[in-house]
């Protein structure tokens, strides 16, 4: 068993009822991949032990819990959140929870925020980049962000298929390309809509090394000062991007990390595995690759593995080794 210590902020779970309902609603090939991956708690713990992951923060991945009916989405969100909280209770120190919300239903999402934090002791929430075409940063979602801001909540953003994927994905699985751009789209809207400026207590985690943000951040910054929607509003995209946290799940290269570090300090980097959607055989190699990237010295690597996450989630320090 590898030495334990990593805190994994991008780690999914697939409860049986969730899988069944998603498939029944037409998601037997979620986001164009072959099928939902196999998942069970014992397999998760085995993977964590082999990859040196002490604690994994659980989240439901795309396509989320809303399949067209608000009431059913609220019921499914409650179920998966209780399942995740039970896993954390059954395995102290090994699991935390990003609670799912039945977005874009605002009232039901507000109710689930209260239950998740006050009754389940959730560590944060997971929000898809959009829900039914309503993107993060849309004014309709302001009450949700206001409540999350009041609670100084951690918000883990996860991509999903864009609303126009039938025209843009060209038949390829959406996680290959579309996820990266939908992440970029949602984060850009959170910034340019001034959502992050108006709700400064949010602790936002952006997945997959920022998606396409390392390539387009400077372009967004320049154009934000000349387009009518944002010119003169005092929005500083690069400053807002620098405040966010970024997990390094997926295929991080020297080039992509270098682009991210053009506007982000190493103190904002977090480890993520993206298991089980990233297959078990790949997890160890990807983790080892992060250890070789020349932009990170020993202190930065140690912080990325766990130190930055403990600063973001100090409650995890009580049950993980120092």
Give this prediction's pTM. Answer: 0.96
Q: Could you give the domains of the chain?
A: 6-314 (3.20.20.140)
Q: Residue 208 contacts by C-beta under 8 Å, 6 or more apart in sequence?
A: 159, 179, 180, 183, 247, 249, 250, 274
Residues of the chain with pLDDT under 50: 1-2, 320-322
- How do the residues of the chain divide into helix, strand and coil, expressed in percent and rounded to 5? 50, 15, 40
122: burial class by Cβ within 10 Å (0-12, 13-18, 19+)? buried
pLDDT value of position 232: 85
Give residue 3's pLDDT.
52
Span 81-136, pLDDT tens digits: 999 999 999 999 999 999 999 999 999 999 999 999 999 999 999 999 999 999 99
Residue 247 is inside which H or E element, if any?
Answer: strand 245-247
CA dist 62 and 71 (Å) reads: 19
């Amino acid at each position: 068993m590898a030495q334990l210590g990593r805190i994994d902020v991008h780690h999914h779970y697939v409860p049986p009822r969730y899988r069944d309902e998603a498939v029944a609603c037409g998601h037997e090939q979620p986001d164009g991949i072959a099928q939902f991956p196999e998942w069970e708690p014992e397999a998760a713990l085995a993977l964590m032990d082999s990859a040196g992951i002490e604690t994994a923060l659980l989240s439901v991945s795309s396509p989320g819990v809303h399949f067209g009916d608000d009431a059913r989405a609220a019921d499914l969100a409650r179920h998966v959140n209780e399942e995740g909280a039970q896993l954390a209770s059954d395995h102290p120190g090994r699991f935390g929870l990003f609670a799912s919300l039945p977005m874009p239903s605002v009232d039901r999402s507000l109710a689930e925020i209260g239950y998740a934090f006050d009754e389940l002791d959730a560590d944060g929430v997971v929000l898809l980049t959009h829900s039914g075409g309503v993107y993060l940063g849309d004014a309709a979602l302001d009450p949700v962000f206001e409540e999350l801001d009041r609670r100084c909540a951690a918000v883990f953003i996860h991509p999903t298929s864009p609303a126009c994927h039938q025209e843009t994905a060209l038949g390829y699985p959406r996680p290959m390309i579309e996820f990266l751009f939908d992440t970029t789209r949602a984060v850009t809207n959170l910034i340019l809509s001034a959502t992050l400026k108006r709700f400064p207590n949010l602790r936002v985690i952006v997945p997959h090394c920022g998606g396409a943000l390392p390539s387009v951040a400077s372009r967004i910054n320049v154009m934000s000062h000349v387009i009518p929607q944002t010119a003169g509003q005092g929005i500083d995209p690069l400053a807002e991007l620098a405040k966010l946290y970024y997990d390094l799940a997926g295929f991080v290269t020297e080039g992509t990390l270098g682009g991210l570090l053009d506007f982000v300090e190493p103190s904002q980097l977090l480890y993520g595995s993206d298991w089980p959607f990233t297959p078990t055989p790949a997890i160890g190699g990807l983790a080892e690759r992060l250890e070789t990237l020349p932009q990170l010295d020993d202190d930065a690597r140690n912080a990325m593995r766990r130190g930055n996450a403990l600063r973001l989630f100090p409650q995890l320090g009580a049950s993980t080794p120092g």
